[in-house]
């Protein structure tokens, strides 16, 4: 059996379930034919650090902080040797700045010590870096290296459950379910399409069901009504 065919519960999706997923994916692709992360970066190292910093804040906040960060410490060697207090001052506005500072300095040290300062393009290696989980690693693999990877954040978790593409809550199990349903060539851009769809239409508090091209497919109830 090919990798990616089995869901988290060990079952294989039916042809009908894969057909439904294909319709969802096709509509998202038609809406967002060109899609990518909103984080601004020049190389895999910058994307890796920016993605770690993006936890619990907006991409806009990260993009305001990182130009100074990378101007002062442009390489893993530079950031590995940085004064933590100075780094904290640069990324203070992104929140949780002490924890993030520890993570990005430590992951830079990991890169220098283990990989000669080069960001690996392998999931198993990326997740050994300080502060890097599967979500962050998947973003880097998909965006910086063009590899098939699915990053599961709160938008992806919420929307895939609403669409009944999964019943799982754990991000790793959701990732496995999506990989079982969606062809591998669609994985690279799927997360970013779902995330943007969540920001534009399928919000947490009040999804715009009345203005959604997936409404006819989506089993989520009750559907939100348009404002008066």
Q: Scanning the structure block, which residue is given the tokens 């239409």?
A: 201
Which long-range contacts (C-beta less than 8 Å, at least 24 apart) are formed by 77-82? 77/108, 77/112, 77/117, 78/108, 79/49, 79/104, 79/105, 79/108, 80/105, 80/108, 80/109, 80/111, 80/112, 82/108
Q: How far apart are CA 16 and CA 72, in angstroms?
A: 53
Q: Is 146 helix (H, G, I), strand (E, B) or coil?
A: coil
Name the active-site residue from 78, 113, 153, 228.
Answer: 153
Instruction: Give the span between the Cα atoms of 125 and 141, in whole angstroms.
Output: 11
For the question of residue 153 being annotated catalytic, the response is yes
Catalytic residue among 59, 83, 121, 135: 135
Contacting residues for 111 by C-beta, under 8 A, at least 6 apart: 45, 76, 80, 117, 118, 119, 129
DSSP 79: H
Name the CA dihedral angle for 168, 174, 177, 181, rounded to a multiple of 10 degrees. Answer: 120
Q: Tally Cβ neighbours within 10 Å of residue 194.
A: 29
The dihedrals phi and psi of 74, each to the nearest 5 degrees, come to -75, -15
Catalytic residue set:
135, 153
């Amino acid at each position: 059996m090919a990798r990616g065919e089995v869901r988290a519960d060990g079952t294989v999706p039916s042809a009908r379930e894969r057909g439904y997923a294909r319709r969802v994916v096709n509509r998202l692709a038609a809406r967002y034919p060109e899609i990518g992360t909103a984080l601004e970066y020049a190389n895999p190292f910058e994307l890796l650090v920016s993605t770690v910093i993006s936890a619990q804040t907006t991409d806009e906040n990260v993009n305001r902080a990182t130009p100074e960060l990378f101007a002062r410490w442009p390489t893993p060697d530079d950031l590995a040797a940085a004064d933590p207090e100075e780094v904290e001052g640069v990324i203070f506005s992104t929140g949780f700045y002490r924890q993030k500072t520890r993570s990005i300095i430590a992951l830079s040290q990991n890169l220098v010590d283990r990989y000669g300062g080069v960001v690996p393009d392998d999931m198993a290696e990326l997740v050994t870096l300080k502060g890097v989980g599967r979500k962050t690693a998947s973003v880097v693999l998909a965006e910086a290296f063009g590899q098939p990877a699915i990053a599961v954040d709160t938008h992806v978790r919420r929307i895939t459950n609403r669409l009944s593409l999964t019943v799982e809550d754990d991000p790793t199990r959701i990732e496995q379910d999506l990989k079982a349903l969606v062809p591998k060539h669609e994985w690279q851009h799927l997360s970013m399409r779902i995330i943007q769809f969540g920001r534009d239409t399928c919000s947490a508090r009040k999804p715009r069901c009345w203005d959604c091209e997936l409404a006819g497919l989506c089993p989520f109830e009750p559907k939100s009504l348009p404002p008066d």
